[in-house]
Amino acid sequence: MNISDIGEFGFIRAIQDHTIVTPETVTVGIGDDGAVYKTTPGMEQVVVIDTMIEGNHFIIGKTATWHAVGYKAVASNLSDIAAMGATATQLVLSTALIPSMTVADVKELYRGMKDICQVYGVNMVGGDTVTARESTVITVTVLGEIEKDKALLRSGANVGDVVAISHTLGNSCAGLDVLLQQERGYEELVKHHQYPQPQLALGRLLVSMNCHCANDISDGLASEANEIAKASGVNLILDKDKIPFSPALEQWCAYAKKDRYRYAFGGGEDYELVFTMAKDDFYRLKKQYDDVTIIGSVHPGTGMVLLRDGDKESPLQPQGWTHF
């Protein structure tokens, strides 16, 4: 059965179960002209949006399943919420779907979204449905909350801060290459590509540990580090040999003759956090959350990123994934 067989209202009926995870915050969910939800007194509201397009962001049967597409469409939004240091609360979305998409596939797409919403306590409170001619487009908006004046901004890096990242870089793009080249194995890399984990818990810890500045790594470290340098009006110096990689990525690079730095700087979709804070605060953080690594430092400057390789320093251009 296709979605054109059940119509728009049949479609909504098919997906509206299990959309509310924290009922105490939702007065009206799916089913009316608008959703009505409660906010926590004293908290500021945060809103983010991200779109995924078939062909550009995923190829069904080759780089993703519908379940993974749903999961990742929400994960990329939650990653932006994490980069602000906020908690996620509500979600609305717009789906442009091809009429010949099967009801089973749509249910898988929504199962992926509901699975990650369940993990992070986010309610799906509404959406919009239109038909697409050639490729599916999914736009998700997530709402979140943060204590007044505590949001982690790209503009907050201070001279003297360390620059650090969470976990390791490059796994998602390497996983994409594994899938596109139809190689076997490397499940860990493939999982990073299909099911990225938004760093919400770390974002909250960063807020509590006086972090000055954060950005999520959706377009590659080169691009995100340059955004911080520019927004903060400082220079970042990154040490090439301090960038951490997973053993799985190193194995893949050795096998496929790929450059791990190209993955880290320009790969994108890692959804790790890059952040800056005072060194003492970083070591306090490290005691509570070990999977963070110092990769550089913040210096007076005009908004550049310099990459230190041995005793050479050269500008790291903001090249990464862009849509144009």
Ligand X SMILES: Nc1ncnc2c1ncn2[C@@H]1O[C@H](COP(=O)(O)OP(=O)(O)O)[C@@H](O)[C@H]1O
Q: Which residues are annotated as a binding site for ATP?
A: 110, 127-128, 154, 218
Q: Minimum distance between the CB of residue 267 and ligand TPP, rounded to whole angstroms?
A: 6
Q: Minimum distance between the CB of residue 104 and ligand X, rounded to whole angstroms?
A: 31
Which candidate, 293, 60, 75, 259, places its Cα nearest to that of 174? 259
Looking at the Cβ atoms of 226 and 297, the one nearer to ligand X is 226
User: How far apart are alpha carbons 313 and 239 in whole angstroms?
Assistant: 9
Looking at the Cβ atoms of 65 and 317, the one nearer to ligand X is 317
CB contact set of 61 (below 8 Å; sequence gap of 6+) = none
Q: Which of 74, 176, 200, 234 binds ligand TPP (CB under 6 A)?
A: 176
- β-partners of residue 128 are 94
Looking only at residues 122 through 161 of this chain, which bind ligand TPP when binding is defined by CB under 6 A?
none
Considering the rule CB under 6 A, would residue 80 count as an interface residue with ligand X? yes
When CB distances are held under 5 to 8 angstroms depending on the partner's kind, the choice from ligand X, ligand TPP, none that residue 176 binds is ligand TPP
Q: Minimum distance between the CB of residue 312 and ligand TPP, rounded to whole angstroms?
A: 28
CB contact set of 125 (below 8 Å; sequence gap of 6+) = 19, 20, 26, 28, 29, 30, 35, 37, 90, 91, 92
Looking at the Cβ atoms of 273 and 304, the one nearer to ligand X is 273
Considering the rule CB under 6 A, would residue 270 count as an interface residue with ligand TPP? no
When CB distances are held under 5 to 8 angstroms depending on the partner's kind, the choice from ligand X, ligand TPP, none that residue 54 binds is none
User: How far apart are alpha carbons 98 and 44 in whole angstroms?
Assistant: 38
- For CA atoms 119, 122, 123, 127, the dihedral sign is negative
Looking at the Cβ atoms of 3 and 138, the one nearer to ligand X is 138
CB 213 within 8 A of CB 161: yes
Looking only at residues 219 through 278 of this chain, which bind ligand X when binding is defined by CB under 6 A?
219
Considering the rule CB under 6 A, would residue 194 count as an interface residue with ligand X? no
Considering the rule CB under 6 A, would residue 105 count as an interface residue with ligand X? no
**Which stretch in 7-15, 50-58, 121-129, 227-235 sits in contact with ligand TPP by CB under 6 A?**
50-58
Considering the rule CB under 6 A, would residue 218 count as an interface residue with ligand X? yes
Q: Minimum distance between the CB of residue 218 and ligand X, rounded to whole angstroms?
A: 5
Quick one: 91 exposed, middle or buried, by C-beta within 10 A (0-12, 13-18, 19+)?
Answer: buried
Q: Minimum distance between the CB of residue 323 and ligand TPP, rounded to whole angstroms?
A: 6
User: How far apart are alpha carbons 232 and 214 in whole angstroms?
Assistant: 11
Q: Which residues belong to the annotated binding site?
A: 33, 50, 57, 80, 110, 127-128, 154, 216, 218-219, 269, 321
Site residues, ligand X (CB under 6 A): 80, 218-219
Site residues, ligand TPP (CB under 6 A): 50, 56-59, 63, 76, 176, 218-219, 268-269, 321
